[in-house]
Copies of this chain bind each other. A is one copy, B any other.
């Protein structure tokens, strides 16, 4: 059994916006094939990527889903993407879920926390180049599949500077 209980398979064309700022998020979904991204737009209009969800990853707006508040993020499809989709609010989920489901949820959530902790750590202590090298190791397939611009946003720098880093790394 998996993170969410009631499921159906859905398909999104590349570029489809799945969740918008202002909407209350009422789903979680797990990517079967393709890739989604979640991101927010800051006061200066700049996009910052929160998470990529390639095959096997879960994506949602936990804050909106859990607290039933309007979302402050966007989720959309970077590639044509097939997902396991669950329309739910957390209450439904808890009422319906068996003990085993809950155990799986805990495992999924714990993994999510661990990944988040690692990212915080990188942002606090590593240089842009170190973060880029780490990205390559952590997501070798994504490095090929994603435009540089999105990777730059994820590691927290400008595309121009990532371009410079690539040149430097290549020259080694």
Q: What residues of chain A have their CB less than 8 Å away from a CB belonging to chain B?
A: 40, 42, 46, 48, 50, 62-63, 66-67, 90, 94, 99, 102-103, 105-106, 109-114, 116-121, 123-125, 156
Task: List the B residue with the shortest CB-CB distance to A105.
Answer: B106
Known: A63-B114, A106-B106; 17 extra A-B contacts, CB below 8 A, are A42-B125, A46-B125, A48-B124, A48-B125, A50-B121, A62-B113, A62-B117, A63-B118, A102-B103, A106-B109, A109-B109, A112-B113, A113-B113, A116-B116, A119-B120, A123-B124, A123-B156
Total identical chains: 2
Question: A40, B125: Cβ atoms under 8 Å?
Answer: yes
Main secondary structure of the interface of A (DSSP, over half): helix
Query: Are A66 and B123 in contact (CB-based, < 8 A)?
Result: no
Q: Are B42 and A117 in contact (CB under 8 A)?
A: no
